[in-house]
Amino acid sequence: MKRILVVANDFPYPPTHGAAVDMWNRILILREMGCQVDLAATVKATPDKASIDTVQGHVGRLWLVPRRNGPGSFLSARPFQVQSRRDLSSTKIEPQYDAILLEAEYVAAFLDNPASRGAKLILRVHNEQVGYFQDLADGADDWRKRIYFLSESLKFRRFAPSVMRKCNLLWFISDSEREDHIRRAPADAGKSAFLPTHVSPEDLRPFRGSGNTALFVGSLTISHNTDSVDWYIKNIHHRMLDVPGYSFQVAGRTAGRPIPALRALIQSVKGAAMEEDPETLDAVYAHAAVFVNPVICGAGIKIKVVQAIQAGLPVVSTSMGIEGTGFRDNIHVLVGDTPAAFASCIRRVFTERGLAESLVANAQALVRERYDMKANMERALSELLGEGD
């Protein structure tokens, strides 16, 4: 039995946002593959007991490693996201693993932990960090945030390649980012693989598309998502109010953090509503006719799009919102990059139900073909660790 340690940048349960869904599915799949899985997760605050109990029911050992957000984390030559997780280097874990899966460069401090010695190292690349933080800086409306994001982008420009060089496998969640990385570092071609977020064929839901509700789901404390909602409200929402029964629904995780600006924005317009921290997303998806992804900046694959397609919803997105997914305009999704075009796409979904149903069918066919994480992981791990026990 192979022993795998997952080192997570956040607690993966409940899986109510894209990164958590991706991490949690990977833990479950590793267990299905017969691996012994332990988990070390960095946390801002201790998760509730029910969540801890659920996770402990699926992993062997669990370590919760506090994150430190003091001035020293900001002043370090390392990115803040890495330095704030520096206690990973001193967490007492026995060096007994066949492989260690690092969930993002954020947990790279674990490379200094004695437990990493002798194990094969796998890096899950959730985002191209340099571009990710540059995009955040470009969209920041506060000079302090802008300086912080620019600083992170510059630090990751040096730091991320050094982490990748130390790893035996690079699992990219975005195929376009994998291709970009290989262009920059051709020597990494042999260890770089596209590993999209997992969708089980059994979890694909039939076409829904009832009513005229447009839905957006995402972590409501991430600026990319709040900027997307802001753009939709200010540029799209008023264009749709003449549609009978139209409404705009926003849902997502806050993790207890205040979001007064977003809440005020939603409350300021007619026909918009927000559900914070839903226990599950099933009911949210069930009452929507279309999933909208008005992303105007951001890096990495947009897991929310895959989740919506899995739930049986047609998707309207900007071009940036489907980068790295493999989905194509007018085949799997509808794409609009201007307010008028985006609104027109939503109207098409509302009025052309046959089109909406075909988009879902085509997108789900692509998901069946490319988004089987278990098959991809089995192949990659067998090559890395060898067959059998």
268 and 357 in a common domain = yes
DSSP state of 70: S
Amino acid occupying residue 118: G
Q: Which pLDDT score, from 0 to 100, does residue 213 have?
A: 96
55 and 131 in a common domain = yes
DSSP string, 133-159: HHHHHHH-SSHHHHHHHHHHHHHHHHH
Q: How many domains does the chain have?
A: 2
> What are 206's two structure tokens?
């039939």
Other beta carbons within 10 angstroms of residue 202's beta carbon come to 5
CA 379 from chain center: how many Å? 23
Cα–Cα distance between 295 and 303 in angstroms, integer?
A: 12
Cα–Cα distance between 221 and 262 in angstroms, integer?
A: 9
Is this model's pTM higher than 0.85 or not?
no
280 and 218 in a common domain = yes
225 and 183 in a common domain = no
DSSP string, 277-334: S-S-SHHHHHT-SEEEE---S--S--HHHHHHHHTT--EEE-SGGGTTT---BTTTBE
Those residues whose C-beta lies under 8 Å from the C-beta of residue 95, and which sit 6 or more positions away, are 114, 115, 116, 117, 118, 119
How is the chain split among helix, strand and coil, in percent rounded to 5?
50, 15, 35
Question: 359: helix, coil or strand?
Answer: helix
Q: Where are the beta strands (DSSP E) in 67-149?
A: 99-103, 120-125
> What are 204's two structure tokens?
């694909």
Residue (of 165, 171, 92) closest to 125 by Cα position: 171
CATH code of the domain covering residue 57 = 3.40.50.2000
210 and 281 in a common domain = yes
353 and 331 in a common domain = yes
Residue tagged 């340690």 (tokens): 5
225 and 359 in a common domain = yes
User: How confident is the prediction along the chain (389 residues), in pLDDT tens digits per residue?
Assistant: 899 999 999 999 988 777 888 899 999 999 999 999 999 999 998 999 999 999 999 999 999 999 988 777 777 889 999 999 999 999 999 878 999 999 999 999 999 999 999 899 999 998 888 888 888 888 777 888 899 999 999 999 999 999 999 999 999 988 888 998 999 999 999 999 888 887 777 788 999 777 899 999 988 888 788 889 999 999 999 999 999 999 999 998 887 788 899 999 999 999 999 999 888 888 899 999 999 999 877 554 567 898 899 999 999 999 988 887 889 999 999 999 999 999 999 999 999 999 999 999 999 999 988 888 888 888 888 888 875 44
190 and 206 in a common domain = no
Q: How many residues does the chain have?
A: 389
232 and 333 in a common domain = yes
Residue (of 95, 107, 89) closest to 12 by Cα position: 107
Domain range for 274: 202-369
Query: What is the separation, in whole angstroms, between the first and last Cα of the chain?
Result: 5
Residue 154 burial (10 A CB sphere; 0-12, 13-18, 19+):
middle
Q: Specify whether the CB–CB gap between 67 and 90 falls below 8 A.
A: no
Q: How far is CA 276 from CA 212, 248, 249, 253, 308, in A?
A: 21, 14, 11, 6, 18
Question: 182: helix, coil or strand?
Answer: helix
> What are 363's two structure tokens?
């997108």
Indicate if the alpha-carbon torsion angle 273, 279, 281, 286 is positive or negative. negative
DSSP state of 239: H
> What are 279's two structure tokens?
């226990």
Cα–Cα distance between 164 and 156 in angstroms, integer?
A: 11
280 and 191 in a common domain = no
Query: What are the backbone angles phi and psi of residue 357, rounded to the nearest 5°?
Result: -65, -40
206 and 85 in a common domain = no
Those residues whose C-beta lies under 8 Å from the C-beta of residue 190, and which sit 6 or more positions away, are none
Q: Give CA torsion, residues 263, 269, 271, 272, to 10 deg.
A: -20
354 and 379 in a common domain = no
Examine residue 258 and say whether the peptide bond preceding it is cis (omega within 30 degrees of 0): no
